[in-house]
A and B are shown apart, each in its own frame.
Chain A
């Protein structure tokens, strides 16, 4: 084998080319990590929101959209009292009638905020036990509970939605009573208010859905059977997991677009990198020919060229990961269903590492082939 020092020292032959190559690799790794973090965050957010023990009762025919769904008061009441297998906490059945409404609120400065408002009763906390009130208290009449990331979804400063601030809904002032946290779920970007208040604002005499938390030994099929037996209630039972999985599929084109954009930009960077490597290796055609003349096989020389490229791409990967950490970690991005908090989880780092290694490996082969393939007498003369 050629000494490793040969690969290391080759890096310093042209410092500007080295910097260019490292930055190119870092850009590719950053883009790949960014795309992965975004898509992983989106998927995680939708998956975390869904609990396998929760069932949603929606209006029959509106299984795809909670906002379009209408469940009558009567149906909600019957379901609440007659369903078997419902979780009970301190004597209270975990059944939460909810209204989901896209509303326009006004800030104190008159700025319009359009966001998802969920009307709930205190039983919502029984159905969504991952929810915690981080600050303040559960909203009473004339109050709002804002999700921890709602400010990002509504594109305002966090102070605008701080506890004590006032937002106006249909000319009525509503005070922020608390901040809601449910790490990793889309509900963190929602605004909650008492069900009765929202019913008045939205002028509806129905609810959007009834969320039910089942006991561990109960099954979704039991609830589905109930809805089939009580066709008069016009209900459809969908497990929360299934509902959010459908929602995730709805966002699949966005994920594809994210990857496509990242891959296109990365491809441009890869071609730039290939060009740099072509230039770097082309200036050493005679040198590699000399090594062959001395007795090194083309494979051994290829290994050395790979070592060199991998050193560059790994340096780029490290830089890309550091930049990703600085730019992406804990960054909150809005997306249709709410807001996602980006997190550089191990899988994102592994994807970045693989991208960096592939870049170093695959990026070396074409220029190395061009350098090593021509007949030795010709390359010795070049």
Chain B
């Protein structure tokens, strides 16, 4: 994924997603075109069922489009098999969930280490990267704590460190502040903002919170599977 700054990292063209639910066909996304430049922090807003999470899943290779193409850097993600997508995600995408999705039986260190394991890196390299990622989110002193021993904000920071540790260019976050108090939410948003500015991470964040959306460079509204507005926040 070598591309110049401002050259779109994410390119979606004519993307649609359809699936069957009982006897009905549901179309959460319809003919969507989107480009996200490298280093941009993009917020997606919209009512429930508008297709935000579907778009996030498509862009991150968790789901495949029914139509259209999705290119992330120079990879045509829509053409990858399920197995290749898993390997691609491990290297190129960091996923941040609303409910953190940390593995409860693993320590913060071990949770953050997970994305490095499929890559077959040496233990020493992994340790350096995990410690760097945990330091970046301000949790170097909590690395041996288990999720149950951390606050919600700290858990989300561990989840962000896990998303960052493989040094992906694309971070996708599904309501990362949705389960946090204001103070923790602000701290997480500041961290994401910093990652976009300082480390040129491309971030796509789904949120219902206008304050969270305000931290992004650009805000897009989705409704019934279509993009409505393209609003530059900053």
**Chain A residues within CB distance 8 Å of chain B:** 1-3, 5-6, 9-10, 12-13, 286-287, 290-298, 300, 375-377, 380-381
Contact = CB atoms under 8 A, between A and B. Distances in A.
A290 B86 contact: no
B2 interface: no
Nearest to B118: A295
Contacts of B105: 6, 9-10, 12-13
Contact of B62 (A1, A12, A380): A380
Nearest to B92: A295
Interface stretch (B37-45, B68-76, B109-117, B187-195): B109-117
B86 A297 contact: yes
Interface residues of B, number: 27
Given A3-B117, A377-B54, A294 B90 contact: yes
Nearest to A7: B105
B200 interface: no
A6 B91 contact: no
A48 B87 CA distance: 60
Nearest to B172: A293
A290 B98 CA distance: 12
B103 A287 contact: yes
Main secondary structure of the interface of B (DSSP, over half): helix
Main secondary structure of the interface of A (DSSP, over half): helix
Interface string B118-142: 1000000000000000000000000
B63 A375 contact: yes
Nearest to A297: B86
A294 B106 contact: no
B89 A295 contact: yes
A5 B114 CA distance: 12
Given A293-B95, A294-B89, A377-B63, A1 B117 contact: yes
B101 A287 contact: yes
Given A290-B97, A375-B63, A300 B118 contact: yes
B86 A292 contact: yes
Contacts of B95: 293-294
B114 A376 contact: no
Nearest to B54: A377
B54 A9 contact: no
Contacts of B83: 297
The 9 nearest A-B residue pairs measured at CB: A295-B90, A9-B105, A290-B101, A377-B63, A295-B89, A377-B57, A297-B86, A295-B118, A294-B115
27 contacts: A3-B106, A5-B106, A10-B105, A13-B104, A287-B101, A287-B104, A290-B97, A290-B103, A291-B103, A292-B86, A294-B89, A294-B115, A295-B86, A295-B90, A296-B90, A296-B117, A297-B83, A297-B86, A297-B118, A300-B118, A376-B62, A376-B63, A377-B54, A377-B57, A377-B62, A377-B63, A381-B53
Nearest to A287: B103
Contact of A293 (B54, B87, B89, B110): B89
Nearest to B86: A297
A1 B91 CA distance: 15
A159 to B, nearest CB: 57
A378 to B, nearest CB: 9
Among A2, A13, A287, A376: residue with most chain B CB under 10 A: A376
A291 B106 CA distance: 12
Contacts of B115: 294-295
A5 B118 contact: no
Contacts of A6: 103, 105-106, 110
B11 interface: no
A2 B117 contact: yes
A136 to B, nearest CB: 65
Interface string B189-218: 000000000000000000000000000000
Nearest to A293: B95
A296 B103 CA distance: 14
Contact of B101 (A286, A296, A300): A286
